[in-house]
A and B are shown apart, each in its own frame.
Chain A
Amino acid sequence: MRFLTLLRAAHPDGPPPPELMAAIMRLGEEATASGALLDTAGLAPSITGARIALKGGDLSVTDGPFAEAKEVISYAIYDVGSRDEAVEWASRFVKVHRDSWPGWEGEVDVLKVFGPEDFTPA
């Protein structure tokens, strides 16, 4: 089963420490080799993005940045056997932030992608 993880955090004041990037690469390599990580990438600040909304029948397009306190920083797609496994990989991802970027705070949402197992014929 597949999971999408979204990392949210406040906009950092400076660039992430190089040790963090190295740790993320190492973890990504391990997760890819083990077959769990299908895809991942960092996301540019929302100032470069846009939001399309439908309200009261009106469609609007607003340029970024979005007003939220936290930005979506990166995403990953995991192919794993259980939600716990996706949670474990995401926890490791957060731990490398903790271990190499003091004071960093953020959160990861782990969302299940619908798969055939969710539509078992009755």
Chain B
Amino acid sequence: MDKVEAIWRIESARLIAGLARFVRDVALAEDLAQDALVAALEQWHRDGVPDAPGPWLMAVAKRKAIDALRRRDAYASKLILIQEVPEAEDWDDAIDDHLGDDLLRLIFTAAHPTLTTDAQKALILRMLCGLSTPEIARAFLIPEATAAQRIVRAKKTLTGVRFEMPTKDETTARQSQVLQIVYLIFNEGYAATGGDDWARPALCHEAMRLGRLLASLLPDDAEAHGLLALMELQASRLAARVDAAGEPVPLLEQDRRRWDRALIRHGLDALARAEALGGGPYTLQAMIAACHARAINPAATDWPRIAALYEVLAHVQPGPVVRLNQAVALGFAGDPGRGLRIVDELDLPDYPHHPAVRAELLDRLGRGDEARAELGRAAAMSRNAAEQRLFRRRADRINPAK
């Protein structure tokens, strides 16, 4: 029943968050929400979908919650909880009043430091996006049993973790952890080009949805807006990144008419908010992506600005890949010599883009023979057949040494 699935996708996060507010236990709240879904599947199939499915699900889950809390009380282990079971009528108001806080608490709990990154990703997709276990398995290319086990273990780990906001000291770290998990989810989708299975590219959309949710829950956090901008600007190129034969198309060779204007506009709006709030590493990366998005054709790209932004990014978030990208930008900005000096200082073993970027800079400096040799090294290093072909094509295009 696809309609139930659609309702579940819309309602599950607020349902789990609202329940967790009262049972104080995310794992139990998730169980209760799933029980309510099972009840809905049975009853709605028989009687039709109710006019207000969200409140219906909440009412059923509430009854189950009260039963569960009473059972716990019978074991005399959680006496305190039963005293806090509110009157049924109070729930709806409380849930509406505190929805934002509850959703944030739910996200923070799913990104709890006691969980592995894989567990955090799976829990966020399940509890905030309403994805089923088989959907999570498909998205991460793992067997269903593995995904199920990962979720069960994660929920077990969370038992005993109180459903509350991180302390003031922890908040910054937890917030950046949440953003990082969302970006990891995005990148899993982004790395999967084309193919028959859209479960992985669909991860980009789940991540953007999460990004929009975070931007609305953390309106004053520059990086929440910066991450959203970065994801939307990158995703605007999804359709143009692969040609009809499924081969990857590098950014500068993409047909820009196929870039998604709506996502670009949305991303630039998010970027403006991020910049106004002060920015950070995601915002800087989004600013770089925006330089490409704003350029009507490759020649219109503001390369000096991109090189300067990478320079700043390299200070805020040092790393060899940032430096490598800075070198590329310097090459385009008319300073390949400086780019080459940066590249030669980098230690990036087994990273095919390292020799590939060196090749590009050498070619710009008129050292074609060396450039071709570097592209050969890049192709030999790459484990991806499409990428190897790309490097070879580039090598063929380089003119002999001038």
- Using CB atoms and an 8 Å cutoff, list the residues of chain A in contact with chain B: 1-2, 32-36, 38-39, 77, 79-82, 84-85, 87-89, 95, 115-117, 119-121
Contacts and interface: CB of A to CB of B under 8 A. Distances in A.
Contact of B239 (A33, A38, A115): A115
B262 interface: yes
A68 B173 CA distance: 57
A72 B98 CA distance: 36
Interface string B70-107: 00000000000000000000000000000010000000
B212 A116 contact: no
Contacts of B9: 80-82, 85
11 contacts: A33-B217, A35-B210, A36-B209, A81-B9, A84-B2, A88-B3, A115-B239, A116-B201, A120-B198, A121-B244, A121-B246
A33 B205 contact: no
A35 B227 CA distance: 14
Contacts of B195: 120-121
**Interface of B (DSSP majority class):** helix
A2 B262 contact: yes
Contact of A84 (B3, B209, B245): B3
B5 interface: yes
A84 B202 CA distance: 16
Contacts of B209: 34-36, 79
Given A79-B209, A85-B6, A32 B216 contact: yes
Given A117-B201, A121-B246, A85 B208 contact: no
A89 B10 contact: yes
A80 to B, nearest CB: 8
Interface of B: 2-3, 5-7, 9-10, 13, 51, 100, 194-196, 198, 201-202, 205-206, 208-213, 216-217, 238-239, 242, 244-246, 262, 266
A82 B244 contact: no
Given A85-B9, A119-B239, A120-B194, A35 B212 contact: yes
A84 B6 contact: yes
Q: Which of A34, A36, A95: most chain B CB closer than 10 A?
A: A34
B10 A34 contact: yes
B324 to A, nearest CB: 28
Nearest to A1: B205
Contacts of B217: 33
B213 A95 contact: no
B213 A121 contact: no
Q: Which of A77, A81, A95, A117: most chain B CB closer than 10 A?
A: A81
A117 B5 contact: no
Nearest to A37: B212
B2 A35 contact: no
A88 B6 contact: yes
A87 B239 contact: no
A78 to B, nearest CB: 11
Contact of A88 (B10, B206, B213, B242): B10
Contacts of B244: 121
A34 B209 CA distance: 7
A1 B242 CA distance: 18
B6 A87 contact: yes
A38 B215 CA distance: 13
B10 A85 contact: yes
Contact of A38 (B13, B201, B242, B262): B262
Given A116-B201, A120-B194, A33 B266 contact: no
B10 A82 contact: no
Contacts of B201: 116-117
Given A33-B212, A79-B208, A116-B238, A88 B7 contact: yes
A95 B213 CA distance: 24
A87 B212 CA distance: 21
- Sort A-B residue pairs by CB-CB distance and give the 5 closest, nearest first: A35-B209, A35-B212, A84-B6, A33-B216, A121-B246
B352 to A, nearest CB: 23
A77 to B, nearest CB: 7
Contacts of A85: 6, 9-10
Contacts of A1: 205
A87 B6 CA distance: 9
Contact of A32 (B6, B7, B212, B246): B212
Nearest to A87: B6
A2 B206 CA distance: 13
Contacts of B51: 95
